[in-house]
Structure formats: structure tokens, C-alpha cells
Amino acid sequence: MADVKKYSTKPFDCWGKAKELRMDIYQKLAQKASGEKDWLVASGGTEGLIGLPAGLGEDYVFFGGEPYGASTGAMGKSEEMMGHCEVKGYARDLCGYCRNYLGSIFGDQFSFGGKYPHPDFYFQLHFCDTHGKWYQPAAKYTDKPYFVIDMGAPYRWPKWNESEKRRKNKFNYLVTQMHDSIEWMENITGRTYDDERLADAVYNEIMSTSKWAKCCELNKNVPAPMDEKSMYAFYIVHVLRRHTKEAVEFFDMLYDELQDRIAKDIAGVEYERFRMVHNSQPPWYALHMFRYMEKFGVVCVGSQYDFMLSGGWDYYYDENGIFHIRAGEPPADLKDRIKTRDGALKAMTSWILDYGLTIRSFRFPMIERRNIDVAIARDWNCQGAMMHLNRGCEGWAVGQLEARRALVEAGFPVLTYEGNVADPREFDESRTFAHINAFMESQRLKKLAN
């Protein structure tokens, strides 16, 4: 170990705040279920337009299906929830998050304690086929209204030579549906929609997702100020509540702390000698595998999943034709654009179409999706990649092996392992750790410590 540099490490000052902002959502949902307080709850996919219902009032809370499914897995409650789902006839190859969520409904159990918090309505952006269908049985079983916005074909990639007419049609298609959804929400809740609250939600979402992307860019530094396992605690803030002022303030705080860590040479991992990019969601019940890899001096510096899940990234080519990603920059005149309802919805639509890279490439193994993995590996100074062949998410699984080939052809060795994002029955820990050991040996990396 004498030739391996040891970096200073320290806990994140904002760690407690991240946990507080996350748990605030689930505590309010528990209050809804118990009758302690009747929050206005909408439920759906967290990659969707979660800020739109904010115009209904300050008591609005969004119940995101995916982070709830992930939390259920991390708490070791998946088998119980999935059992409730499977006895209803749902197959085990269905989205792992979806099975945890539907199982909670069918079993009337909330993973954080108490009964399932029935939302007032379901609200979903259909960019994933499973997501579009997911909340239909939920709405039927709970007898609650459901609205879906069809994402259509949201590609805005360079070099595709899309016509201006096509771009305009996609833009108007989304804006029109957003207007329709607001009228629908007013009808089913009996509330008058507040456009000022909408403007605040749009502003906060654009600012918070941009700042999270800038936080991720700081991980290009060697040593990386964040490790992947820690990033999962931070990215969840924009996934759950990016439309709130608290999210903007949190990512400003995190950004400042990361800059301070870089200035003081404080690392996310004590011994960093090999950097990797991760592909797909992790198995939430087995995050200790990242700590195991640290024993070899390996740090995962990020992934498409935690970088881009809620947008905020620009995909571009430099003057040499090399593809890259960078943080999307909010429009300088954003506050002027969002003064009216139509202006706010158009600003949100532009941000999604221009900077929503995950939404643009989800389910579609296009060359750009593969390029993003290569860009992260290259521009974040990685020496390799690891890929979760995840049977719990069809959208991320599509095209994974093409992404693996692209990484290998770009010179990055790839560690693959099999599992399921939320179902521990599909994860063989002994086999996975054997794969990790074999990969480390292939890279001539020996354990630095026990």
C-alpha cells in the first residue's frame, strides 16, 4: 500500500439535510394514510411532470412510484410486497419497482409503516410502457382518477436533421396536453389552479436539475469528491421534489460543499486508484457491493441513472466531432418566460425536450444512449465500467449489451453482473462478488485492506 495515495475523507455536511428532505415526503404520506393530515397527494412516475400539480395548493405532495419501490427494496421488504402482487397474477419479469408499489396497494401496507397512502389522483408522463400501464390498475383498484400525458417521440439529437415542422409539432403536442391536464386537475379536485405556484415549480425544477448536473460535473476531479453510493442519497432530492424551493437550496449547498472538498483534496473514497462508471440502477438491497469495491481502491463516479434521471443535461458534439455531455444552462430570461401559464408550460417543455436525456433515450438503444456511457467514462476520467444486467427494468435493459460493446470498443473493460433492481430473489451475491474479484484480478488490482 506504500505506493497508493491515501486521500482525506469526511462525512458530507449536507448528508442530514438530504435524508430530511427525503423522509419529509414519506412522513407526509404516512400522515395522509393515518388521517393525521389530509395532504393533496398525486402519484406517478418521478421522471414525469411532477411540478404541474403544484398549482393546486401548498399542501400538494408527490408520491413517486420508483423511489418508493427502491426504498422498499433497500429496507428488505420487497419479497413481502411482491408476494401481494404475484398472488394477483402479476409476473415476476414485471418492473421491480412496479411490483413493490402495486403490492403495497394490494396488501394495504406502506413500507414506512402503517397503511398504504391512497393518493387523490394518479398523474403520469408516458415515456415508459410499463409506467403508462402501471398506474392504470392502481387507479382502478383504489377507485381514483388517472391522467396520462403521452410523451410521444421526444428525440432532439444533434445530426438527426429533424425538420422544424417536426420539432414544432412535438413541442405543441406536449404543451397542449399539459394545458388539458390542468383543466382536468381543476375538475377532479374542485380547486382553482394557481399559475404563480406553477411558475415557481417550473423555475425550481429547471434550476435544481441544472445545479445537480453541475454537481455531477465536479466528480470529474481526481479524486472524486462523491462516490456512487453517496450520490444515491443526493440525487433522490431532485427525483422526489425538484419542483420545490428546498431542492434548489439543497443543490446550491451541495455544490458549494463539493467545491470546498475539491479545494481541500477531500475524496469520496479514501484510496482511489481505479475509476468506473455504472450502468443501470443498482440492486438497492445490495449497495454494500460498492463498499466492497473500495477495498480494491475502486470508486464509481456516477452513471446515466443518477446523473440524468430527471433531466438537466445537454448532449453535444465538439469541433472535432466528439460527443460529450454537459450541464444544461437555464435560460437567462427564465423568470420573464414563466409569467403566464402558457409561458411556464412552454419553458418546461423546452427544458424537457432539450435537456431530458434519459426521457429521450429510455427504451431505445440508439447510438446516442451508448455514446452517453462512453462520454461519462471518458470525460470523468474512468478506467472501466460496471453494468447491472437488470431484469427488474425493461427500459434500462434494452440495448445494454450494445452499450457494453461501445464501452469495450472505446477501450473500457466492463464488469457485468446480473440481478434485479428491487427483487433480491434474482440476485446471487456470491456469484456477483466472484465476478467482482475476477474483474479486479484482470485489472491487476489487489485488496488494499480488509
What is the SS3 assignment for the chain?
CCCCCCCECCCCCCHHHHHHHHHHHHHHHHHHHHCCCCCEEEEECCCCCCCHHHHHCCCEEEEEHHHHHHHHHHCCCHHHHHHHHHCCCCCCCCCHHHHHHHHHHHHCCCCCCCCCCCCCEEEEEECCHHHHHHHHHHHHHHCCCEEEEECCCCCCCCCCCCCHHHHHHHHHHHHHHHHHHHHHHHHHHCCCCCHHHHHHHHHHHHHHHHHHHHHHHHHHCCCCCCCHHHHHHHHHHHHHHCCCHHHHHHHHHHHHHHHHHHHCCECCCCCCCEEEEEECCCCHHHCHHHHHHHCCCEEEEEEHHHHHCCCCEEEEECCCCCEEEEECCCCCCHHHHCCCHHHHHHHHHHHHHHHCHHHHHCCCCCHHHHHHHHHHHHHCCCCEEEEEEECCCHHHHCCHHHHHHHHHHCCCCEEEEEECCCCHHHCCHHHHHHHHHHHHHHCCCCCCCC
pLDDT in tens, 103-127: 999 999 999 999 999 999 999 998 8
Q: How many domains does the chain have?
A: 1
Q: What pLDDT tens digit does each residue of the chain (450 aa) get?
A: 557 899 999 999 999 999 999 999 999 999 999 999 999 999 999 988 999 999 999 999 999 999 999 999 999 999 999 999 999 999 999 999 999 999 999 999 999 999 999 999 999 998 888 888 999 999 999 999 999 999 877 767 777 778 889 889 999 999 999 999 999 999 999 999 999 999 999 999 999 999 999 999 999 999 999 999 999 999 999 999 999 999 999 999 999 999 999 999 999 999 999 999 999 999 999 999 999 999 999 999 999 999 998 879 999 999 999 999 999 999 999 999 999 999 999 999 999 999 988 877 776 657 888 999 999 999 999 999 999 999 999 888 888 999 999 999 999 999 999 999 999 999 999 999 999 999 999 999 999 966
In a domain, 163, yes or no: yes
pLDDT in tens, 38-78: 999 999 999 889 999 999 999 999 999 999 999 999 999 99
In a domain, 7, yes or no: no
Can you give the residue range of the structural domain that contains 177? 15-442
In a domain, 1, yes or no: no
In a domain, 421, yes or no: yes
In a domain, 327, yes or no: yes
In a domain, 6, yes or no: no
In a domain, 249, yes or no: yes
In a domain, 448, yes or no: no
